[in-house]
Amino acid sequence: MIEELETYIGKQGYGAQRFLTRAAKDMSEEQQRNFLGSLQLGDTEFQAEVAPYMPKGAEIDPSRARLETFPIQDIEGEGVAPKGLSWKGKDYEELKVRDPNVPDGFQSILIEPETVNAIQARNANPQVWAHEYKHFEDSDGGSEYTNRLMDLMAAQNYGDVVTAMRSTALEALNIATLRKFRLETDPRYKGSEYDAERRRVERDHELATNIYTSVNPAVREDKISEGELYDHLDNLFDITSTKLAVLGIAGQTVRGNKPAEGRFFKNRKKRGKINRTKESKMPKNYREGGRVRLI
């Protein structure tokens, strides 16, 4: 086998190595070079599909990408397993998920060291790959929440927007739920000095719940309009935990890894500028929601 092809195959996962080695076994040297070229072209196409979701200058090393599937393919329920996983450890990591359809109630797969993984074929899409590559390349803003918010900023189409918005709202809902439970049950927070905090958390919880359920395709019979999505996005950015995640995005921008922005998010910023311009030209009483006073 020619050295270049052998080096390329050596960077792939164990299963891919076996498959590619068998495929190249009886090829001539010229055929091996053509085979390597087609594999490298596939890598370039993969990078081109993922790049719009990533900060400019991201590495996106295709040799680290792995598609992992569970032994029994009947895991389709939402929330049953993570969509993806990046793993920087030096040893294999076991990913275990609950599955009542198997004897011991669990299925597991092993994640290779220093890899970026999509879990199950249905999740092997550019948005999921980019999310995991951001974790791997330390361009995730320092948290899962910030990474999900950057997924939303980078959304390239309607499906991306809905998926990322719901994912981010779920993270906000989880944070608000935990904080709400603590404020209600922990004796340290019983004092009236925490009343304002309780109201804020209650409001965050309500906003996150509304966004999460309103953009759920399984709940809605109709397609949510772009205008509604912008309204939900405005509400999402009004949630306290989102405001904190924005600080992570700002810090990343300072370090030179400015998050990608898709058409939806760019239009949202333009929309905000137009609305602010309109408000600045309105009489004061109109801006406040009242009527112009008669003299």
The answer to whether residue 83 sits within a structural domain is no
Average confidence (pLDDT) over 27-38: 85
For residues 54 and 165, membership in a common domain is answered with no
For residues 43 and 156, membership in a common domain is answered with no
**Which structural domain range is residue 44 located in?**
3-61
What pLDDT is attached to residue 81?
A: 67
Number of folded domains that form the chain? 2
For residues 287 and 144, membership in a common domain is answered with yes
Q: What's the pLDDT tens digit per position in 227-272?
A: 899 999 999 999 999 999 999 999 999 888 899 999 999 988 777 6
End-to-end, the C-alpha distance of the chain in Å comes to: 92
Which of 39, 61, 83 finishes a domain? 61
What pLDDT is attached to residue 7?
A: 87
Higher pLDDT, 293 or 165: 165
Given a cut of 50, whether residue 287 has pLDDT beyond it is no
For residues 292 and 152, membership in a common domain is answered with yes
Average confidence (pLDDT) over 43-54: 94
Q: What's the pLDDT tens digit per position in 204-228?
A: 999 999 999 998 877 777 788 888 9
The answer to whether residue 258 sits within a structural domain is yes
What pLDDT is attached to residue 286?
A: 35
Given a cut of 80, whether residue 80 has pLDDT beyond it is no
The answer to whether residue 120 sits within a structural domain is no
Which of 61, 81, 97 finishes a domain? 61
Q: Which residues of 272-295 are buried (b: 16+ CB within 10 A; e: fewer)?
A: eeeeeeeeeeeeeeeeeeeeeeee
Phi, psi (deg, nearest 5) at residue 119: -105, 115
Q: Could you give the CA distance from residue 205 to residue 170 in angstroms, rounded to a whole number?
A: 10
Q: How confident is the model at residue 274 (pLDDT cuts 50, 70, 90)?
A: very low
Average confidence (pLDDT) over 20-25: 84
Name residues whose C-beta falls within 8 Å of residue 286's C-beta, 6 or more positions apart in sequence: 292
For residues 166 and 273, membership in a common domain is answered with yes
pTM of the model: 0.83
What pLDDT is attached to residue 283?
A: 43
Q: Could you give the CA distance from residue 24 to residue 1 in angstroms, rounded to a whole number?
A: 8
**98 CB-contact burial (10 Å; exposed 0-12 / middle 13-18 / buried 19+):** exposed
The answer to whether residue 222 sits within a structural domain is yes
Phi, psi (deg, nearest 5) at residue 240: -55, -45
Q: Could you give the CA distance from residue 190 to residue 175 in angstroms, rounded to a whole number?
A: 20
The SS3 assignment for 220 reads coil
Q: What's the pLDDT tens digit per position in 82-93?
A: 899 999 999 999
The answer to whether residue 72 sits within a structural domain is no
Average confidence (pLDDT) over 182-188: 91
Which of 45, 61, 77 finishes a domain? 61
- What percent of the chain clears pLDDT 70, i.e. is strictly above it? 88
The answer to whether residue 269 sits within a structural domain is yes
The answer to whether residue 74 sits within a structural domain is no
For residues 32 and 158, membership in a common domain is answered with no
The answer to whether residue 73 sits within a structural domain is no
- What percent of the chain clears pLDDT 90, i.e. is strictly above it? 53
Q: Could you give the CA distance from residue 156 to residue 158 in angstroms, rounded to a whole number?
A: 7
For residues 152 and 290, membership in a common domain is answered with yes
What pLDDT is attached to residue 272?
A: 63
For residues 149 and 279, membership in a common domain is answered with yes
Given a cut of 90, whether residue 48 has pLDDT beyond it is yes
For residues 256 and 162, membership in a common domain is answered with yes
Given a cut of 90, whether residue 24 has pLDDT beyond it is no
Given a cut of 50, whether residue 136 has pLDDT beyond it is yes
CB distance 174 to 212 below 8 Å? no
- Average pLDDT of the chain is 85
Q: How confident is the model at residue 112 (pLDDT cuts 50, 70, 90)?
A: very high
Average confidence (pLDDT) over 181-204: 91
What pLDDT is attached to residue 23?
A: 85
What pLDDT is attached to residue 103?
A: 78
Higher pLDDT, 181 or 256: 181
CB distance 127 to 151 below 8 Å? yes
